[in-house]
Amino acid sequence: MKIALLDYGMGNLHSAAKALASVGADVSITADPKVVAAADKIVFPGVGAMRDCMLGMQDAGIDEVIQSAVFNKPVMAICVGMQALFESSAENGGTPCLGILKGSVNAFDNPLFDANGEVLKVPHMGWNTINQMATEHPLWKNIAEDSYFYFVHSYYCAPKEASVVAAICDYGKPFCASLIKDNLFATQFHPEKSHTAGLQLLKNFVEWKI
């Protein structure tokens, strides 16, 4: 299975590539549209500030690659890659995004409180559980409901279409931790940093037939 791991200068590429290779993928780290077009599937990572990510995508031509690929082959977006799919982000005073999905990316309240009134740190950094919404979907195969995944983010996605939400996480408030729409799958958490459950999720993506 050939996977194009998109390189626009803002992703955690080597750990993602190593994790994908460990579950059987033939990974190419690339920004070359020809390599992307020849790949069976695409992984769209991202870390850092949204404005820098969008500029990096535009400079590398990745924005056009994603706009095209999202309609014709399986795509997995991770962290800021997931956030970039929406119409806009509140980060950097407001940043236009790719607009592939309807909705926005909002900042966590700061201060943020848990159910007991205790202050939660922002960014949301570390391990947390998720509540799977589409439990029968093949991407959740062999992943227990109480599995932990690793998060690092100060902003969260707010889709306008509730039907795309594949998992919810709670951090001061419920937020979209994962989404699925047709051949597009995205996670706010980092599966490549999430040990057994994360590797299983990547394996499920590699084996996903649509």
Known catalytic membership, residue 91? no
What letter would DSSP give residue 20? H
Exposure string of 28-48, with b = 16+ CB inside 10 Å and e = fewer, is: bbbbebeebeebebbbbbbbe
Known catalytic membership, residue 118? no
Known catalytic membership, residue 145? no
Annotated active-site residue in 53, 169, 176, 190: 190
Token digits of residue 96: 């236009």
Q: Are 178 and 187 in contact (CB under 8 A)?
A: yes
Tell me the pairing of strands 184-187 and 75-78: parallel
Token digits of residue 153: 């983010």
Annotated active-site residue in 79, 157, 169, 176: 79
- The continuous run of DSSP H or E covering 156 comes out as strand 155-159
Annotated active-site residue in 64, 169, 192, 195: 192
Q: Which amino acid is at 110?
A: N
What letter would DSSP give residue 79? T
Active-site positions read: 79, 190, 192
